[in-house]
Structure 1
Amino acid sequence: MSDYLSVSTLTKYLKMKFDRDPYLERVYLTGQVSNFRRRPSHQYFSLKDEGAVIQATMWAGAFKKLGFDLEEGMKINVVGRIQLYEPGGSYSIIIEKAEPDGIGALAVQFEQLKKKLTEAGYFEERHKQALPQFVKKIGVITSPSGAVIRDIITTVSRRFPGVEILLFPTKVQGDGAAQEIAANIATANQRDDLDLLIVGRGGGSIEDLWAFNEEIVVQSIFESRLPVISSVGHETDTTLADYASDRRAATPTAAAELATPVTKADIISWIAERQNRIYQASLRRLQLQEERLAKLTNSVIFRQPERLYDGHVQKIDHLTQRLTSLMETRFSQAKQKEALLSHRLLAVDLSSKLDRYQERLQVQERLLKSNTANLYDNKLARFEKAQDALLSLDTSRIIARGYAMLTKNQKVIASTMDVQKGDLLEVELKDGRLEVEVKDVR
């Protein structure tokens, strides 16, 4: 029996081999993600290829630094160490780092975030704001030491001297850059003196430009009250900030040109053209009015002004005649109507009608008195009957006939169930009250 090992002993021996083997201390594996279901903290899934499967564990700290979303079936490259779990007798790989196989993690993260924000509507054309045609003050969010701000200042000064440029010094690369960009966009939106924003930086790798792919920056651009022009990287570089902004410029110079679509020379030329058009229009209007004045001056009306009121005089005479005729007709009709009514009034026998109405009134008065007397007698009889019924229920009258009323605690006793032996009761008689004690209840 001394030649047999326990399961625990064998497992401990194998674990010691796993832990001490230098080839298993750091392992580089390529495999396909299987049985992945995202958990709140630590992640447990499998890596497999055509011939084998290994269990994989990724602690929460490493998973937060992943930079892209794991998906079922995704092929990834991982770095980790092999661990044997004694209670289960199984081995697994503890993943410390992972990246998609074939393309960089940032590229995958870019596409995944682009898809997410597209579905959320951040890049829809209907949310884009129009750029103002004339600006007085432009806010620029970029590094104070880069070429971006110098190019913007040079272009704006050349195209439209007098336009102010307000720089928000911003970190545009590295840790904390995305938070600083978003914070400065929010700060700029709190001002009332800015007309638009330019957000940008020079060229670089995808890692250098990554701050402009962060969701916090895209959201701040989307929520900006001020129109935003994005000028990030070179012409071939594209960031998520470009998709969310109202306009994208390939270079800082192009951004400054978009911000000042009309140059000072264009405005001066436009004003001169408008001045000339106003002058020509005023001159033509003046000539036209002079011609009208000359024509009116030579008009017959001014030479024979009585023609202005001849027609009105004739019209007044005609209306006066019509009014006189109408009044005579109305007076004649009214006189005829008055004579007719007088004749009809004399034909009516008013005295006989008055006698008939008086007789009817006397009949109605007698009928009213009779009905009122009957109604009063009926009401009085009902009242006396109700009064007798109410008096018959008066307890004082019942007691006066020789009866008594028992009360306990001011409540009338109606049954032997309401009293017990030893209770103190009150007896109300017609000439006073008695206090009694119950000796027995039967």
Structure 2
Amino acid sequence: MDNDYLSVTDLTNYIKKKFDRDPYLGKVYLTGEISNFRLRPVHQYFSLKDDNAKISAIMFKSAFNKVKFTPEEGMKVLVTGRISLYEPTGNYQIYIEHMEPDGVGELYQAYEQLKKKLSQEGLFNAEHKKRLVKYPKRIAVVTSPSGAVIRDIITTTRRRYPIAQIVLYPAVVQGNAAAKNIVRQISRVNERDDYDTLIIGRGGGSIEDLWPFNEEIVAREIYKSKIPVISSVGHETDVTISDLVSDVRAATPTAAAELAVPVLTDVLTEIQNNKIRTINSFGNKLKQLQQRLSKANESYIFRQPERLYDSYVQKIDMLNERLNNSFKEKINLFDRRLNDLVYNLKINSPQALIKEQMQSLEVNNERLQRNINQLIDNKRVELKRNIESLDHLSPLKVMARGFSFTTNEQGEVVKKVDDLKKNQTVELNLIDGSAKATVNEIKKEHK
């Protein structure tokens, strides 16, 4: 009977084989909304749902690395994968092999996400843009060695500014390996310190062809460049992440070369005009200085130099007079203060003060002696009064009138008959002595 029952493991294995062998579940095309998504470092675990149902999903690292955009919570996606069962929990789930946004192209979605991310970080801000060198000596170009880009840049530069040197850093500008190759060439250019400008570019193409210039690693390498960067990628209507993060964007390779270098003939003309302006300006300045010199030579300072210090001599005389007056005022002030001190010293002479203090001391001594005698007399009267009061209260006075007091064997005063016992020996204390007595009878008065 027990053999009719399956274990949970056996049942789960059986159901899993059913899933794996079903030809309709080997490759499923599914649309849904991403739920419970949290970006993990290796494999991705989340759910796909619609209004009425939900299915668990897993996407292994190898498949997820091929996704150009970053999945987000609530995003509608189109996925391809297989349905199978996860035995430890008995849950069925979809193993996703490919995923793209629903309604928006995958590359466009990735472009918008990266654009938003880098914009929030400030990589496109104008304050980070470096100014181009006006008269560059060496220009580095990162592009394909066989394309029209390098030819257009060389042709335009030779025509406009042939004294500038163009150095090509050949790069792969299309395909999966292009982004890393472009980053490497930008890094090589920045390892040197003899370049004035860096041009990065390629010809036109589809968004897939231009995608290496939308990669995050390329954008960050351009932003990190210490050399000003001109970006010329695709046609004028194509705007890549590299264009946004570069210091200057050019619509075409020819425009990039025109931005990078001036026209030599214009520069020579400007130099000639600056030379003429400098000579004219110097002549005018020299003429002005000669006029100032002539005017200075005619000044009274050079014709009558003694007039230069006349006012200072007069000022010194006035200051000397003020100084003497000030000394006199100070001396008079000190003299008056000295006289006042002498007068006060006479009035407050130590001898007069001692005499006055001696008289005061003598008066105080007499007053103190009188007070002491008075205090002694008062204390004597008070002592006599206290002695008389104490004598009136003395028990001896009472005993002299015939009274006595009785004590027991312990010397305690007997106050009540209750303190006595028959045949008890007591002591009678009289005015002139004491006597022993025996209690023969005890009578107690009742009140």
TM-score clears 0.5? yes
Corresponding position of 2:113: 112
Residue type of the alignment partner of 1:30: T
Deviation at 1:45, TM superposition (A): 2.0
Secondary structure at the counterpart of residue 54 of structure 1: strand
Corresponding position of 2:233: 232
Change (3 A) 1:163 1:52: same
Q: Which is further off, 251-260 or 278-287?
A: 278-287
Deviation at 1:67, TM superposition (A): 2.4
Structure 1: which 5+ runs fail to align? Answer: 330-442
Deviation at 1:43, TM superposition (A): 2.4
Secondary structure at the counterpart of residue 44 of structure 1: strand
Higher gyration radius (CA)? 2
Corresponding position of 1:271: 271
CA distance in 2, matches of 1:294, 1:44: 93
Residue type of the alignment partner of 1:265: T
In the TM superposition, what whole-angstrom CA distance separates every residue of 1:96-129 from its partner, at most 9, and x where no partner exists? 1111111122222222222222222222211111
In the TM superposition, what whole-angstrom CA distance separates every residue of 1:255-301 from its partner, at most 9, and x where no partner exists? 111111x311211221222333344446666777899999999x999
Corresponding position of 2:83: 82
Deviation at 1:141, TM superposition (A): 0.8
In the TM superposition, what whole-angstrom CA distance separates every residue of 1:19-72 from its partner, at most 9, and x where no partner exists? 222111111111111222333432222211123222212222222322222222
Corresponding position of 2:397: none
Deviation at 1:199, TM superposition (A): 0.8
CA distance in 1, matches of 2:293, 2:224: 62
CA distance in 2, matches of 1:118, 1:310: 75
CA distance in 1, matches of 2:18, 2:295: 121
Residue type of the alignment partner of 1:83: S
Corresponding position of 1:39: 40
CA distance in 1, matches of 2:305, 2:91: 121
Corresponding position of 1:440: none
What TM-score do the two structures reach when normalised by structure 1? 0.64
CA distance in 1, matches of 2:305, 2:63: 104
Corresponding position of 1:358: none
Corresponding position of 1:353: none
- How does 1:9-408 map onto structure 2 within 5 Å? 11-260=12-261, 262-281=262-281
CA distance in 1, matches of 2:179, 2:299: 85
Corresponding position of 2:6: 6
Corresponding position of 2:348: none
CA distance in 2, matches of 1:90, 1:77: 22
Deviation at 1:15, TM superposition (A): 3.0
CA distance in 1, matches of 2:294, 2:82: 107
Deviation at 1:310, TM superposition (A): 8.9
Residue type of the alignment partner of 2:42: S
CA distance in 2, matches of 1:216, 1:294: 70
Change (3 A) 1:284 1:60: closer
Deviation at 1:181, TM superposition (A): 1.3
Residue type of the alignment partner of 1:132: V
CA distance in 2, matches of 1:41, 1:54: 21
Work out the percentage of aligned pairs sharing the same amino acid.
53
In the TM superposition, what whole-angstrom CA distance separates every residue of 1:128-154 from its partner, at most 9, and x where no partner exists? 111111111111111111111111111
What do you get for the CA RMSD once the two structures are aligned? 4.8
